Amino acid sequence: MSDILAELSHGQLLMVNSRRRNGLIIYKQFHAEFAGPGAAVGNLLDRDCKGVLAVGDLSLVSPKAHEDRQKAYLIRRQWIRLTQQITDNPLPFQRVQMILNQFENYFGAELVARMPSEAFALMVGVLPQTVEIVRYCPDHSGMKGRS
What are the tens digits of pLDDT across the range 98-147?
Answer: 999 999 999 999 999 999 999 999 999 999 999 999 999 866 654 544 44
Residues 6 or more apart whose Cβ sits within 8 Å of residue 22? 16, 36, 37, 54, 55, 56, 57, 58, 59
Average pLDDT score over the chain:
92
Delimit the domains of the chain by residue range: 1-79, 89-147
Complete DSSP assignment for 40-81: EEEGGGGTT--EEEEEES--EE---SHHHHHHHHHHHHHHHH
Q: What span, in angstroms and rounded, lies between the C-alpha atoms of 34 and 54? A: 10
pTM for this predicted structure: 0.90
Contact (CB, 8 A) for 121 and 84: no
